[in-house]
Structure 1
Amino acid sequence: MQSRKEDPLYPEGREGWPWLAGKMHAEEVPFWTWLGGGPWGTPCAVRLRNHDPTQNIGRRPLAQPSSPVGGSTAKRKLDIAFVDDPNATENTRCHWSQILVPGELKNDRIEVLSAQDSRRFVPGFTLCGPFLRVWHFDRSGGIASEKFDINKDGCRFITVMLGFLRMDQKQLGFDPTIVTVDGTRCIEIERNGEKELLVIDEVIGRAHCIAGRATTCWKVHRKGSSTQLVVKDSWQYPERDEEGKFLSEAMEKGVINVARYYHHQTIRIDGRDDTTETARKGLGVKADEEASKSVVIRGKSRKKKQATGEKRSSDSLQAPLPPSKRTRSSSPTKATATIQYRVHRRVVVQDYGKCIYKATSRALLLSALDGCIRGYQSLHERAGMIQSDISLGNLMVNEEDDDSSQKAFLIDLDLAVKEQREGFSGARGKTGTRAFMAIGVLYGEKHSFMHDLESFFWVLFWICIHYEGPGKGRVVKRFEKWNYMDTEDLAAAKKGVIDHEKDFLRTIEDISPHTTSP
């Protein structure tokens, strides 16, 4: 490889190149070692800087196939990756937050997206024998390039590796609206025609997934003010009503005990709405049936494993928490389904709290539940809305002494609909969180006010069964499967719990003392 004939960058040519012939892992390990520690490691960055002093190479490829990467619950190893530390060595302990471009993807793409709260998408690459593919993972899934033989097309391989070395932050998938000002991470918003900086205090939560809404929540405060706010980022179907507009309308109509509106926007990058379609820059899906099937199958399999893994690996505080909300569909995903692009939206609210199952006493829990029910009634009566996803994570309690936030309130109008509106609501099939969906909704009935009231019962039932006190949860295998059952089977299971008084009372015997003792 050379940039000018008279000044070759690599005069030794292919010297030391580990020839890959088959698909055996035994061949790939020395190749990763060569790629991460040979001419593509620190020496590569040094050569590039010496060749062009204007180059600022702040990363390097690193091979650590035997060392687990920090930042995940399970011990996950990474064969090769481009990391943000140009001085990293094979003995450096890396964290998932440092991974810029993962190689040999496996579960790595999920860990990278989860560990980096400002990441919109992740590029990556795989090597199967001598065949390399470049990948792009975003909230609509993953797409891959055509494979090519690095032995036969070495220049193309070099071009790809140099591309990973020289991509800027935006090209790597980082959100340019999340900036660092005076050493502090901030979120830029444009409100009432003026730019505001929201200082990030902490990450409240980030969905552990690839495709989907991928909701991220931050606790923030406006620069120059101590008032707390909450920012919610998510990737929505563009045809859905905007949650921010619903929250704004609810506030205008005097709805109580629902998160109070502050701001909402669709994120714009380079003058365009930030969508998974624009992030792919017109890249289509290769008509390669085998490749497309592998993506869909891996996604489905990983989804199930991850949901189960979160249950089994959770500590006593989080053991019973069900998977995050999703839109349920009565038909399975097909490999040939059309790609569903998503748009990047941001909502800012004025209320901060914690999920009601974390309430420090039974009295506070029940008081918060009552407040949330009143909030739902107010939302329905004053704004004509049905929330459509009453669940454990959407009912909040605030036990802090200050008066800046409501003491109990509903959040998340992602799936909300206007009751009086007819026609298509933007919802895709059955909506809600499985464990708390009303029996009628599971059977396919049109979502109603009474269905959401029933969901409040299932939230209370779930808390009673799974929690022994503040911060003390337990896994109850009988009900764990509610998170994954077919919707009609789940409806029948729920009917079995409440249809017969004796059976229900027998189930109640398992309720923890924290919720039944005087």
Structure 2
Amino acid sequence: MFQSRKQMGESTPPLPLKFTRTSEAYAQELYSEVLDNEEIDAFLDEPTANGSRRKNWTAPHAPAPAEDLVRSLYKMLSSIVKRFAFSPKPGVQRKVVDTRKFEGSDEVNAEGYRNCPILVVRAAGPSFQFPASPERGAPSMERTETLGFTNMATYFSVKLDGVVGSEDEIMDEMENYARQVFRDQPNRIYVRSMFFTEKHARLVHFDRAGAQITPPIDIRQDPHTFVRLVAGLSSPDERLLGFDDSIQWNIVNGMKLGGSLTTTDSNGEARTFPIIGEIPTSRDSIHGRATTCWRVRDPESSEELVIKDSWRPEHFPPEHELLALVKGIPGVVDMISHESGRWETKDFRCTTTTGQYENRVSSRVALKPYGKPLVFFTTVLQVLSALRDAIAGHQQLVGDEIRILHRDISHNNILLGRDGAPAGQRGILIDLDMAFRSTDAQPWVISDANIGTRLFQSLCVLQSYAMAEKAAPRDYLDDLESFFYLLAFIFLAHTPNGGRIPREEEGPSIVWAWADRDPDAANTAKEALLGLGPTARLAMRLVESTWGPHCASLFDKYRNYVSDIYYQKLDFLSAADGDGDPFKYLHLRRDEQYLDVLSMLDQAISAIQASPSPELLPEAESTPVAPPPCSDNKNGPIARAFSSDANEPLLKPAVITSSSSEKVSPTPEIPTPCNPTPKLRRSARLQHVHLTKRELSPTNVIPIQGALLSTTALPTAH
């Protein structure tokens, strides 16, 4: 039986993948180290029942039905694999399989393609295992014929010339299968496959920078290239197949039972760690960071570590450089070591396409383990304390000494602290892949709606999509706004004991609208929450009825605060002269702004601790909300990796990485406030909003649900 995406609970695929076209020489030279022409000539000249292979492959073929073409290719491919992909190592096998005999393989998936390519090379060996049984959720070992993307070395698509579509259509089909190979083979670096007609073949390559395709190869006029490519794509050498061989699995009865990972330790020496857990992640997207994490144990100290692998754009700073700067900060992830000198996607690609795609660099860091992602909370106090400590950690990131702007606040990037964690470590901010560090030469960065997790992006970041180079600078206030959307996400899509509220209900329907691929649609949905209309009133009612009055008060205070800052930003932008940071006067109050937000959380935590039991619900098994299948992402959710009990997959919403070449950007610091700077004026628009709500004070100081802002105006940003 073939295991399909539908059976495995596959979600909607991401956006189409960009690809490049290689030179003709690329295919002719690829795998030249695997086979030389003499070996291929000897193979081609061997006699067969109908003459030599060379004669059969070079003879003109009349048009034939698709069935005959598949049958002919199956025999040709089988003979190549049998000869050149044989391994004397026990348990290592390669075999061409015609999937038409497998039940369910010819069914059409959501994208309109067969569940499985029509011809594949089934593999056994250190990186392959039987697919999971959909009924039992465990690897099926009923027969050796079991086939899935977990034990597929490569695949071949076959079509008659008369029905072949455009290059885009070819790539769409091949990507559909490559995405599933990456998903089910977590240490796969790249995937290569071939597309056949009765006259030509094309090699297709996928990696974390996108894809490339060769020009058509005449398999009869150039049989050497044809044989060499098939031999390379089915090689018993897993490094040639595109695997990271620093990860080795123990295969027992066709199943992966443990393994090992070799990396660089804190002394810079190579060490091998037993893998004690593979972190389930969503790998639906090919292009992007493709973050994958492994739980390992130090064999000497028995200490548990998390190894994080990812692919960063080459113009982004290495994450380990930023992690070194934040080491020891409470509420921020702590790095143990890192490994440099790993691969780049350009190493696997045609050299003539350099510059036509965004090169990505493989990164690996070893990190301390923490608790589960924030959405695995079990009590009100746990989630509020975790969010509070993560915000405090974020405050230190943007300090004048470190000057790091995170830019991807999300439910996956805040972890619960370990059991019994002290104040300051109850929530941990992780993942600096998207972060930028400010420099004197470039003290701030322009907002980009293609960076971050759509569900939690601020209004100014979402609006940057339509403004391009005229977009506002991105700053720590955008991240503080993202923290609010994360709080709202918790309040509206979860119960106080961590349970998930069904997505079709009122609360989740509000927050999932923020995850729309269209930034304008997401912006409109968030503006509705910050306004005075029915969405805001509904959200307030839902939070109070589900989470109680103290959480409702926190929600309303934070909501008003975010709205106030947003309208002040708009005022400063309208008055800006286009030179320098238009928000510099807002940034003078940075320490106060963090104090305001932390005070809101502290007040709510204290009130809940002092309240009777209704808001202190008993702990219950929580179910993580599966974010919407919005886009790339990269990157699977690394948050799962830091949990010592990370067995359930947690999907990640639209994490979108930029293809732009802009460099690092800032955000100043946040120590303990001493002498507060002068307060800022309120936006006339916001004054109208609060007048409507009858929240304005007749005095010069306006209480905003627990936070004080002044109507005294500083000089406008000219």
Q: How many Å apart are 1:428 and its aligned residue?
A: 8.7
Q: Which runs of 5+ in 1 are unaligned?
A: 269-273, 286-336
TM-score, normalised to structure 1, is 0.75
Q: How many Å apart are 1:463 and its aligned residue?
A: 2.0
Q: How many Å apart are 1:398 and its aligned residue?
A: 3.5
Secondary structure, aligned partner of 2:366: strand
Q: Distance in 2 between matches of 1:279 and 1:6?
A: 28
Q: Distance in 1 between matches of 2:119 and 2:544?
A: 47
Asked if residue 95 in structure 1 is aligned to residue 148 in structure 2, the reply is: yes
Asked if residue 64 in structure 1 is aligned to residue 99 in structure 2, the reply is: yes
Asked if residue 32 in structure 1 is aligned to residue 70 in structure 2, the reply is: yes
Residue in structure 2 matched with residue 472 of structure 1 by the alignment: 500
Is the alpha carbon distance of 1:426 and 1:503 closer, same or farther for their aligned partners in structure 2, counting shifts above 3 Å?
Answer: closer
Q: How many Å apart are 1:6 and its aligned residue?
A: 12
Q: How many Å apart are 1:83 and its aligned residue?
A: 1.7
Residue in structure 2 matched with residue 492 of structure 1 by the alignment: 524
Alignment of 1:208-219 (within 5 A): 208-219=284-295
Conserved 8 A contact 1:140-1:212: yes
Asked if residue 447 in structure 1 is aligned to residue 474 in structure 2, the reply is: yes
Residue in structure 2 matched with residue 374 of structure 1 by the alignment: 392
Residue in structure 2 matched with residue 250 of structure 1 by the alignment: 326
Structure holding more strand per residue: 1
Bigger relative contact order (CA 8 A; separation at least 6) = 2
Residues 8-41 of structure 1 show CA distances to partners (whole Å, capped at 9, x for unaligned) of: 264643599899766xxx94445334544x4643
Q: Aligned AA for 2:148?
A: H
Is the alpha carbon distance of 1:385 and 1:77 closer, same or farther for their aligned partners in structure 2, counting shifts above 3 Å?
Answer: same
Is the alpha carbon distance of 1:428 and 1:83 closer, same or farther for their aligned partners in structure 2, counting shifts above 3 Å?
Answer: farther
Secondary structure, aligned partner of 1:393: coil
Conserved 8 A contact 1:390-1:456: yes
Larger radius of gyration: 2
Q: How many Å apart are 1:154 and its aligned residue?
A: 5.0
Q: How many Å apart are 1:277 and its aligned residue?
A: 0.4
Q: Which runs of 5+ in 2 are unaligned?
A: 1-38, 131-141, 158-173, 252-256, 465-471, 549-613, 616-718
Alignment of 1:308-323 (within 5 A): none
Residue in structure 2 matched with residue 355 of structure 1 by the alignment: 373
Residue in structure 1 matched with residue 276 of structure 2 by the alignment: 201
Residues 194-253 of structure 1 show CA distances to partners (whole Å, capped at 9, x for unaligned) of: 1122222222244321111111111112233321111111111112112111111111xx
Residue in structure 1 matched with residue 230 of structure 2 by the alignment: 161
Q: Distance in 2 between matches of 1:408 and 1:359?
A: 11
Alignment of 1:38-187 (within 5 A): 38=75, 40-41=77-78, 58-65=93-100, 66-68=102-104, 76-85=115-124, 92-104=145-157, 105-150=174-219, 153-154=222-223, 156-166=225-235, 168-179=237-248, 184-187=258-261
Residue in structure 1 matched with residue 484 of structure 2 by the alignment: 457
Asked if residue 343 in structure 1 is aligned to residue 361 in structure 2, the reply is: yes
Q: Aligned AA for 2:479?
A: D
Q: Distance in 1 between matches of 2:321 and 2:175?
A: 39
Alignment of 1:427-446 (within 5 A): 429-430=448-449, 431-444=451-464, 445-446=472-473
Is the alpha carbon distance of 1:57 and 1:164 closer, same or farther for their aligned partners in structure 2, counting shifts above 3 Å?
Answer: farther
Q: Distance in 2 between matches of 1:341 and 1:166?
A: 26
Q: How many Å apart are 1:188 and its aligned residue?
A: 1.5
Q: Aligned AA for 1:439?
A: L
Q: Distance in 1 between matches of 2:337 and 2:245?
A: 19
Q: Distance in 1 between matches of 2:420 and 2:66?
A: 58
Secondary structure, aligned partner of 2:302: coil
Residue in structure 2 matched with residue 515 of structure 1 by the alignment: 547
Conserved 8 A contact 1:119-1:175: yes
Q: Distance in 1 between matches of 2:376 and 2:61?
A: 54
Q: Distance in 2 between matches of 1:56 and 1:220?
A: 25
Is the alpha carbon distance of 1:422 and 1:76 closer, same or farther for their aligned partners in structure 2, counting shifts above 3 Å?
Answer: farther
RMSD, matched Cα: 3.9
Q: Distance in 2 between matches of 1:276 and 1:185?
A: 26
Asked if residue 228 in structure 1 is aligned to residue 260 in structure 2, the reply is: no
Q: Distance in 2 between matches of 1:423 and 1:129?
A: 56
Conserved 8 A contact 1:57-1:165: no
Conserved 8 A contact 1:139-1:210: yes
Conserved 8 A contact 2:447-2:460: no
Conserved 8 A contact 1:3-1:9: no
Q: Percent same amino acid at aligned positions?
A: 24
Residue in structure 1 matched with residue 405 of structure 2 by the alignment: 386
